[in-house]
Amino acid sequence: MIIKYFSWIKEHIGKSEEQIDLPNYITNVNLLINYLNELDEKYNIIFEKKELIKIAVNKTYSSFDTNISNSDEIAFFPPVTGG
């Protein structure tokens, strides 16, 4: 699975994307966040206020209960500020 990060989240993680092998029991975004939080404490700040984070699965806005699999591309980013 590819995970992409943007804006201050990218700076905090220190990279714009990473590849992880998703364990079988990680079946939705919420479970992925729990998994990342346990993997490394650098993720904790990002997911501390989950309601402030936007999620995209395969480049489509998604939610915490969206189903995911190892072939998906997930992105975490703050609310957008273009225009």
Partner 1 sequence: MSKISPAIKIKIQNEDFDISEETKILHQNNTGAIVNFVGVVRGYDEKNDQIINSMVLEHYPGMTEAEIEKIIIGSYKRWELTGVTVIHRIGKLKPSDQIVFVGVSSKHRQNAFDACNFIMDWLKTKAPFWKLEENNNIKNWVEFNDTDNQALKKWEK
Residue 74, Cβ density class (10 Å: 0-12 exposed, 13-18 middle, ≥19 buried): buried
Any contact of residue 83 with partner 1 (CB under 8 A)?
yes
Type of residue numbered 24: N
> Binding string to partner 1 for residues 23 to 62, with x set by CB under 8 A, is what?
-------------------------------x-x--xxx-
- Residue (of 37, 68, 39, 67) closest to 50 by Cα position: 37
Nearest approach in angstroms of CB 63 to partner 1 is 15
Q: Which residues bind partner 1 (CB under 8 A)?
A: 4, 6-8, 54, 56, 59-61, 75, 77-83
